[in-house]
Amino acid sequence: MTVIGFCVLFWGINQYQAKQEQNKYQYSDSPIQHRQEILQQFKILRAFETGDSVTYSELIKLPNNSMDDQNFKSLVSSTLHHNIDPLIPFKLPDAVLVQWSEAYVQQLRDARRNKACALITSPSHNKDITQVQNVISKSTQQKTIQAITAVLKHKQTSVPYDENFAKSQWSEISKDLRSEFGDDIWLLHDIDGENPKSCDVIIRSLDVMLSRPTLQQQSAALRLFFKQHDSLVIF
């Protein structure tokens, strides 16, 4: 065999071995890469990059879990929910709670406009994130991500809460709502959003709470409201 022939043969063997090695890693890495792509579809993940870097480092390891797409999405959704939801409303400073509430009411407005209010108000955290992203605008998504970042950055072990003061605020708020909605005020508790008007009642209620004269009055009413309403939507 000539030197050139030997070199060609040697090159061919090396190429074959390299291809086999590449295929081996493609086969083993592909499922992880696929789950990484799914993880990045969750936009509120961005809030953890600056809001809670320790938890973020754990979240980005989730694709290493071997499971099918649906179970992986459920894992990510429940993990995000678990790291945010317990903070609302009793572990947030007043100003952050107001910021969160403003983002939430904007989600509701977008959903109302798209006739999909139940997608936001219903308590299930394992929702189709694509549907949620299609219902709320990009600006609302960004506002929500900023609010979650603040929630994560400024979370506290607990905050002072005077339930009697909160109830006194709600007593005044409910008078305004009853004069506007009459007996339909009960729709405030229609968290499944089965009645389209419930979205109007919830939005108006939040508007009234956010228009209270002082930050203390706003936050007191909001804490009582969010004590009974799950406001976190994973997307």
Residue 117 lies in a domain: yes
- Give the model's pLDDT for residue 5: 38
| Number of domains present in the structure of the chain | 1
Residue 100 lies in a domain: yes
Residue 74 lies in a domain: no
Whether the Cβ atoms of residue 232 and residue 85 lie closer than 8 Å to each other: yes
Residue 9 lies in a domain: no
Residue 16 lies in a domain: no
CA 74 distance to own-chain centroid: 13
- Give the model's pLDDT for residue 29: 58
Residue 33 lies in a domain: no
Q: Alpha helices of the chain — where are they, by DSSP H? A: 3-40, 45-51, 53-59, 69-84, 94-113, 118-121, 129-135, 138-154, 163-181, 196-210, 215-228
Alpha carbon distance 221, 231 (integer Å): 15
Residue 46 lies in a domain: no
Boundaries of domain holding 188:
85-228
Sign, CA torsion 90/175/205/115: positive
- Give the model's pLDDT for residue 1: 54
pLDDT of the chain, 235 residues: tens digit per residue = 543 333 334 444 444 444 444 444 343 458 899 999 999 999 999 999 999 999 999 999 999 988 999 999 999 999 999 999 999 999 999 999 999 999 999 999 999 999 998 899 887 767 899 999 999 999 999 999 999 999 999 999 889 899 999 999 999 999 989 999 998 888 887 766 667 788 899 999 999 999 999 999 999 999 999 998 888 999 9
pTM (2 d.p.) = 0.83
- At CA 211, angle to CA 103 and CA 190, rounded to 5? 60
Residue 28 lies in a domain: no
